[in-house]
Every structure is written in structure tokens, then in C-alpha cells.
């Protein structure tokens, strides 16, 4: 596998030009190629399942004065920025008013703080709650929509699991149709329609109870490759067969999920990893992360001190990671009218053809030429898997 930093360095070597301007130009060319190549077919490796859970439109809650944290008795949409209103059978906690729109600050699936504006919610500026109020308090979520996961480009199908039964609602065919459904509001755990709008997703009828599993089959976005390898600290421990990795002096962060970790293979038995790349599934803290599959190398004991890298990988299959760099080097030497361009063109053409044939595409609509259009022609030719 080749990370963004590896591809960038290779481009500098292959073009014999490591100037900042040339490397930045190479970044742009590689990303354009990567994105456009992946847009050329319905690649199976771009399809992912995403899981959400249904949430209650309202819930009883209690407030804690010392922390300003509110705890709901049901699962509601506690994501930061969610609009809510509050009511009470007697008196709301001081700091909250009935019939006023507030914005949640996420704490957990059932806990939240409250802000007076969306900007304050994003900044984490919570309202100071000075007493718990009296009576029974209710929080009501204003939206029917779930935010889509950040990497979703297209929702292809939806299923909802209720008990042991899986329901498959149909996509609403238009905004007009969806708006007409909203004139007859209802709730049910067996939805008939789903709809996507402004990077948000909704079901109709609205789910009646919380905690039901929603699975979205999606096509993911193709992000720019622009993050250099992260190597701060060392790997302290990881067990064979376990996805958990513990670091020392590391500063791992949530956005690293989706990147890839490699523990360096070396001749030092106590600190040698297997040298393989593993996709990061989640980051628990600055020193703990989880892999998407169990670690296959030998167990590294506590304080192993193993060196590692976290890389930003192309979405292409592993054997084809070098294609963006090959294309960028080809374009560089083509500009110089250098015979070396022919060598890179041959590598590129062979690699692209192999990619399409390996992953079941029956036709090839990308042709490498010597023009200035980045080598892509015939955009109207449909590719069938």
C-alpha cells in the first residue's frame, strides 16, 4: 500500500523536481485523477453500509446543576446543533424557558448540554443551569432528520430492523411527494418512505420508538489525498488477534478513523510489528485506537516502543495505489516532451486496464492520450458491472 506521503515523495523522485511548487502541482493532478477515475464506474469498494438508530421525538429529562448536563430517559438526537424546545409540568430548571428554541451540545447518546444559539453550541458554550426545577421536564426534538455520516456521497437503499423483521422502505421520488407526506404526520416503526435533503435523512412515517436499527447502503465520497503520515510517539502494546492498539506519547484523534496504521517491521524482537497496513475503525483516546480487523502480527508487550505510521490512503484497491502518481509523472514528462512520458504512459494504461478487468467492469471508457484534457475522453459511455 502507498500512502499520500509516499506517493508525493515518489512523484518528486520520478519528476526529478522536488520544489514546493511542483509537489503542490503533483498533489492537484493526483487528486484530480484519483477522483475522476473513481467516478468512471460503480466500483464495489466504494460501497459501505452505515448504521443509525431511531430516536424519540421527545423524552423526559433531568438536569444536574454542578455540570449543566441534562440526561434524557429515552434515546433522542443529541448531536451538537440539534434544535430542541423544553416544557415542564411545573417549573423548568433555571436557565431554560418554555417555547424557546435551544441547541444541544452532544455529551452521549442520552446526555447533553444546552446552548442559546447554533454558534454557541459549536463553541461548547453551555447555559448555566442553577437549579433542577420542579415537576416532570420534557425535551422535544424539532427535526425529523438524521445527519448523514460525513463520508456519504449517495444513499442507495435503506432498511429498518424491528425485532427480527427487516423492512425496506422506498425512496420518495421527489421533494413534492415528500412534502405531501408531511401533511399527514404519523408515527410507526414500519416506515414506507425515505428521503434525503441537505445531507440529512428522514423516514416516513416517523419512527414511533427509539433504538431500532437503520442500515443505509451508501456510496462514499472520494476525499482529497492531503494528509502526511503521522508518526508521533510509539506503539506500546497490541495483542495478536486483538483490534486494540495502545500508544505512548501519541496524540491520536477521532479524524484518524478511516486512515491506516502500520507498525514497523524490524529486527528487534520486542518492538517489531508485522509491517502490514490496518484500517483504523475508531479512536478512543489520544493513546488508544481500534483496528477494523484483528492484528495479525506477534503480540507486542507493554512499553514495546514500536515505531509506526498512520497513512492517508487512496480509495483504490491496494495493488493500484500507484496509479495517481504514475499519471502525474506521465503528465509532467509529457509537458516536457520527454521520451520518459512513454514509459509512464505504458505503466498507466496497463494499470488502469487491469483495474477495470479485475473488478468486473466490462468496458473501458478512459483512454490515455497526448492532449491536455488529463487523458479522459468519451464521458457518455456507460460502464456496466
Could you tell me the residue ranges of all domains in the chain? Answer: 18-39+318-385, 47-53+149-220, 58-141, 229-311
Give me the pLDDT at residue 281, please: 92
Q: Quickly tell me which residue has 511548487 as its cell.
A: 21
Assess whether pLDDT exceeds 50 at residue 373. Answer: no
Strand order in the sheet with 47-53: 47-53, 213-220, 152-162, 165-167
Asked whether the predicted pLDDT for residue 378 surpasses 60, the reply is no
pLDDT (tens digit per residue) in 222-270: 889 999 999 999 999 999 999 999 999 999 998 899 999 999 998 887 8
Q: Report how far apart, in Å, the C-alpha atoms of 59 and of each of 122, 191, 340 are.
A: 23, 21, 67
Question: If we measure between CA atoms, which residue out of 219, 214, 218 comes closest to residue 166?
Answer: 214
Assign a CATH topology to domain 229-311.
Elongation Factor Tu (Ef-tu); domain 3 (2.40.30)
Q: Which numeric CATH code is attached to 58-141?
A: 2.40.30
pLDDT average, residue stretch 176-197: 89
Position 170 scores a pLDDT of 94
- Beta-bridged to residue 211, according to DSSP, are none
Flag the least confident range among 151-160, 291-300, 326-335, 360-369: 360-369
The pLDDT of residue 368 is 36
- Cβ-Cβ contacts under 8 Å for 47 (sequence gap 6 or more): 156, 217, 218, 219, 220
Query: What mean pLDDT is predicted for residues 118-141?
Result: 94
- The stretch 124-134 carries a mean pLDDT of 95
Residue in this structure with the C-alpha cell 464521458, named with its chain if needed:
379
Strands 193-197 vs 137-141: parallel, antiparallel or unpaired: unpaired
Q: How confident is the model at residue 12 (pLDDT cuts 50, 70, 90)?
A: very high
- 104/354 Cα distance (integer angstroms): 50
DSSP state of 373: S
Residue 72 to residue 109: CA distance in whole angstroms: 9
Structure pTM? 0.68
Q: Is the dihedral of CA 77, 183, 175, 49 positive or negative?
A: positive
- Residue 216 C-alpha cell reads as 443505509
Which of 98-102, 131-135, 284-288, 333-337 has the least mean pLDDT?
Answer: 333-337
Amino acid at each position: 500500500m502507498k500512502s499520500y506521503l509516499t506517493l508525493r515523495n515518489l512523484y518528486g523522485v520520478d519528476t526529478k523536481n522536488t520544489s514546493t511548487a511542483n509537489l503542490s502541482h503533483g498533489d492537484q493532478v493526483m487528486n484530480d485523477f484519483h477522483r475522476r477515475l473513481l467516478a468512471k464506474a460503480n466500483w464495489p469498494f466504494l460501497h459501505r453500509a452505515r448504521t443509525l438508530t431511531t430516536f424519540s421525538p421527545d423524552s423526559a429529562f433531568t438536569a444536574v446543576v454542578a455540570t449543566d448536563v441534562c440526561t434524557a430517559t429515552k434515546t433522542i438526537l443529541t448531536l451538537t446543533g440539534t434544535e430542541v424546545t423544553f416544557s415542564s409540568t411545573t417549573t423548568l430548571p433555571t436557565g431554560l424557558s418554555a417555547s424557546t428554541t435551544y441547541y444541544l451540545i452532544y455529551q452521549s447518546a442520552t446526555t447533553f448540554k444546552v446552548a442559546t444559539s447554533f454558534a454557541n453550541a459549536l463553541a461548547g458554550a453551555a447555559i448555566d443551569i442553577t437549579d433542577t426545577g420542579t415537576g416532570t421536564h420534557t425535551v422535544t426534538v424539532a427535526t425529523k432528520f438524521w445527519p448523514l455520516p460525513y463520508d456519504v456521497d449517495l444513499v442507495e437503499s435503506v432498511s429498518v430492523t424491528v425485532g427480527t423483521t427487516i423492512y425496506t422502505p422506498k425512496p420518495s421520488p421527489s421533494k413534492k411527494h415528500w412534502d405531501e407526506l408531511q401533511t399527514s404526520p404519523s408515527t410507526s416503526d414500519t416506515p414506507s418512505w425515505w428521503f434525503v435533503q441537505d445531507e440529512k435523512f428522514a423516514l416516513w412515517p416517523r419512527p414511533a420508538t427509539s433504538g431500532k436499527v437503520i442500515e443505509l447502503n451508501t456510496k462514499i465520497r472520494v476525499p482529497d489525498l492531503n494528509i502526511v503520515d503521522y508518526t508521533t510517539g510509539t506503539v506500546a502494546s497490541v495483542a495478536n488477534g486483538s483490534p486494540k492498539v495502545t500508544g505512548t506519547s501519541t496524540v491520536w484523534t477521532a479524524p484518524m478513523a478511516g486512515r491506516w496504521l502500520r507498525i514497523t517491521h524490524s529486527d528487534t524482537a520486542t518492538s517489531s510489528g508485522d509491517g502490514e497496513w490496518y484500517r483504523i475503525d475508531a479512536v478512543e483516546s489520544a493513546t488508544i485506537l481500534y483496528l477494523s480487523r484483528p492484528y495479525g502480527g506477534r503480540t507486542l508487550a507493554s512499553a514495546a516502543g514500536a515505531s509506526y505510521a498512520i497513512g492517508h490512503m487512496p480509495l483504490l484497491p491496494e495493488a493500484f495505489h500507484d496509479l495517481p502518481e504514475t499519471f502525474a509523472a506521465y503528465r509532467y514528462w509529457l509537458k516536457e516532451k520527454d521520451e520518459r512520458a512513454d514509459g509512464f504512459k505504458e505503466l498507466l494504461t496497463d494499470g488502469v486496464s487491469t483495474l477495470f478487468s479485475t473488478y468486473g467492469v466490462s468496458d473501458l471508457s478512459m483512454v490515455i492520450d497526448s492532449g491536455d484534457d488529463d487523458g479522459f475522453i468519451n464521458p457518455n459511455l456507460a460502464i456496466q458491472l
